[in-house]
A and B are shown apart, each in its own frame.
Chain A
Amino acid sequence: MRDLIENVIVKSFDNPALTPLEDQARFDLKELTCRGDRLAFTTDSYVVDPLFFPGGDIGTLSVNGTINDLAMGGAVPLYLSCGFILEEGLPIETLRQVTESMKQEAEKSQVSIVTGDTKVVPRGAADKMFVNTAGIGVIPKEVDIASTRAKPGDLVILNGFIGDHGAAILIARGDLSLESSVESDCQSLSRLVQAMLKVCPDIHCLRDATRGGVATVLNEFAQSSGVCIKMDETKIPIRDEVRGVCEILGLDPLYLANEGILLAIVPRDCAEQVVETMRFLPEGQNSMIIGEVVEAPAKRVVMKTSFGGERIVDMMVGEQLPRIC
């Protein structure tokens, strides 16, 4: 076990806080306080099936997912923990590939994986590999992002194509015998958020559209802020491949999961500048203003359909299931 930890995990994540292999990572408080006035702390567990899919794997997901959760509060992500639960019989090579992905993604976002834990459970007690990551970041002084802050007049920004991750996973599971070139959009949004905050420190709301998709996040904003969000279907970028998958299966791309898509609500007067800034970065190159915040109907998301009608976009119930015919 010690061999596994030292040869695979510590070797991958190598950094000064981890390598002493004490029971805890230790940080200098001064280093944290010079970056901001609040800590952000989050955790998430990853149980994706399959472990490897086009565009990413459970490793990229577990690092970027937690980084993004920190970034959505405006925090600069700094440290991650990593807990592995491994099913007995898992090839070491699989673990090595995953830790390698985690290392690469962490480096890209300049975060360190500083503490961790590994458990091996009997065959059948876990599905190949589960990963938990927790993360710590620092929120700069002037930043105040909250889902309660959307105000009538604000504009809604989306950073790119929706539904790629959900569609890629669905196809990679192989149950539906569909083939497609769609890749997961799994990526860190930390750099993008920092760039956005530079031109608009007063971002009102920010959230990544993971489970439940774009529709769910917009509903959360509308409900928490007691406002109506009006979106325009023609402004929402969707790849033809993803639309195709949704057409065939009867799914709505607005509810498909994403792993590199964020929604921001910003004051109207800085929206254009935010979008322009976002477009300079690859993770924001397809950024668009997709809608606006209005007063009523409060707590609702209304979409102008590409067909010219209007409809309510509701919270997702359960999971999306393919329709019969």
Chain B
Amino acid sequence: MKYVDEFRDPEQARKWLGKISALAKLAQAGKDRPLHIMEVCGGHTHTIFRYGIKQMLPQEIELVHGPGCPVCVLPMGRVDDCVALAEHPEVILTTFGDAMRVPGSQKSLHQAKAEGADVRMVYSPTDALSIARKHPDKEVVFFALGFETTMPSTALTVLQAEEEGIGNFSLFCNHITIIPTIKAILDSPDLQLDGFLGPGHVSMIIGQHPYSFIAKQYKKPLVISGFEPLDILQSIWMILSQLKEHRHEIENQYGRIVQSEGNHNALSAIEKVFEVREFFEWRGLGSIEHSGVRVREGYARYDAERKFSIPNLKIADPKSCQCGEVLRGTLKPKDCKVFGTTCKPETPLGALMVSTEGACAAYYSYGQIDSNQIIS
């Protein structure tokens, strides 16, 4: 398939792996542990496991799976609020597919649907708006999720609703923003990270400048990376090159999509509709300053949190769940106390077991290969 297979060519992969192996020892020199490179984005985690990249890398490199799976970091209380919204008799709740199974404290949206709530899977917020047009007698709520990648489409949908004067459409806004969270990770005392694979699609919107502090202040290299397996290998090589040369810069491997200034139109739509929240709760990581956005006052009538009464309760993560340590990169999924025992993809306890982009689900489904130790 054109424009896909070129980025998955095993011949090219061998070449890049050769270059990575040649650099790895030099880049790791002076360290008594492997290099820890965090892929921030869940899309990268998915690619790494799906193509078996983890097993292809030399032992000097360990990949740490970061917090960039928006479904995974959604706190239980927010899922409960969403379920409560879905259970309003006049509401049609619309959501992206992978948010359906995220467990709340009582149930997931999937279970709420089974109990009779009108929950519909959509692929874009504009599909939710179409449902609102078709059902003027119902209130259509869109479960708005994701980082800057999905924020512009939500913002543009609100602007579209306003232009058409559609009054029965609103957002339950859970959009989050990655920069404060990377900062929180960098500030954690048990930090052992040597570099970052930067999120490609978020960067397509925000550009590369917002990452500058990572290089300047924290002196870590970050390479914005695409999502195909060759993108990942090339980006890892770029990080190793920086480490070997003692550089720490923000570089862009995903030049075919990401421009250094980002996408102006998308950013202005976000700016128009959303404002930064003081705090937002992340599953496993706790409350992080300025890490979420909400609908601005001017668009209050499209804000489900203002339109409906919701419980808005804080629910603590299950005690045995160690998602936080995994998200910060200090614990490997398989070393978590409940991994594969009480926490499995069929019955996820922690959020990282829910989505295929979650580190634990990826380990569970694709990754147990290393524990078997027999692959030639």
Q: Enumerate chain A interface residues (CB-CB to B < 8 A).
A: 175-177, 240, 243-244, 247, 249-250, 252, 296-297, 300, 302, 305-314, 317-318, 321-325
- Cβ 8 A contact of B369, one of A240, A252, A311, A325: A311
B372 and A321 contact, CB distance less than 8 A: no
A323 and B346 contact, CB distance less than 8 A: no
Residues in B with CB closer than 8 Å to A306 are: 8, 10
B346 and A318 contact, CB distance less than 8 A: yes
A240 and B13 contact, CB distance less than 8 A: no
A307 and B10 contact, CB distance less than 8 A: yes
Residues in B with CB closer than 8 Å to A252 are: 50
A249 and B123 contact, CB distance less than 8 A: yes
Using a CB-CB cutoff of 8 Å, which residues 95-122 of chain B contact chain A?
96-101, 110, 120-122
Residue among A252, A296, A312, A324 with the highest chain B CB neighbour number at 10 A = A324
B368 and A312 contact, CB distance less than 8 A: yes
| Segment of B20-28, B51-59, B310-318, B324-332 in the binding face | B51-59
B98 and A305 contact, CB distance less than 8 A: no
- Cβ 8 A contact of B98, one of A247, A308, A321: A321
Q: Enumerate chain B interface residues (CB-CB to A < 8 A).
A: 1, 4, 8, 10, 13-14, 43, 46, 49-56, 70-71, 96-101, 110, 120-123, 127, 145-147, 149-150, 201, 229, 345-346, 355-357, 364-369, 372, 374-375
B121 and A324 contact, CB distance less than 8 A: no
A–B pairs, 17, beta carbons within 8 Å:
A176-B123, A177-B123, A243-B4, A297-B372, A297-B374, A305-B52, A307-B51, A307-B53, A310-B55, A311-B367, A318-B101, A322-B96, A324-B70, A324-B71, A324-B97, A325-B70, A325-B147
Residues in B with CB closer than 8 Å to A318 are: 101, 110, 345-346
- Contact A324 to B146, CB < 8 A, known contacts A176-B123, A307-B13, A308-B13: yes
Give how many A-B residue pairs fall within 8 Å (CB-CB): 110
A307 and B372 contact, CB distance less than 8 A: no
Residues in B with CB closer than 8 Å to A249 are: 123
A309 and B56 contact, CB distance less than 8 A: yes
- Contact A314 to B149, CB < 8 A, known contacts A309-B52, A324-B98, A325-B201: no
Residues in A with CB closer than 8 Å to B150 are: 324-325
Residues in A with CB closer than 8 Å to B365 are: 312, 314, 317
Rounded to whole angstroms, the CA-CA distance of A312 and B150 in the bound complex is: 30
Closest to A176 in B: B123
Residues in A with CB closer than 8 Å to B50 are: 252, 305, 311
Closest to B367 in A: A312
Residues in A with CB closer than 8 Å to B145 are: 324
A300 and B372 contact, CB distance less than 8 A: yes
Rounded to whole angstroms, the CA-CA distance of A325 and B43 in the bound complex is: 8
A308 and B56 contact, CB distance less than 8 A: yes
B366 and A312 contact, CB distance less than 8 A: yes
Q: How far is the CB of A210 from chain B (nearest CB, A)?
A: 20
Residues in B with CB closer than 8 Å to A244 are: 1
B97 and A323 contact, CB distance less than 8 A: yes
Closest to A244 in B: B1
Rounded to whole angstroms, the CA-CA distance of A322 and B367 in the bound complex is: 21
Rounded to whole angstroms, the CA-CA distance of A267 and B55 in the bound complex is: 31
Residues in A with CB closer than 8 Å to B367 are: 311-312
Residues in A with CB closer than 8 Å to B56 are: 308-309
Residues in B with CB closer than 8 Å to A311 are: 49-52, 55, 366-367, 369
B121 and A322 contact, CB distance less than 8 A: yes
A247 and B4 contact, CB distance less than 8 A: yes
- 11 additional A-B pairs beyond A307-B10, A307-B51, A323-B98, beta carbons within 8 Å, are A175-B121, A249-B123, A306-B8, A308-B10, A308-B13, A308-B56, A309-B51, A309-B229, A311-B51, A322-B98, A325-B70
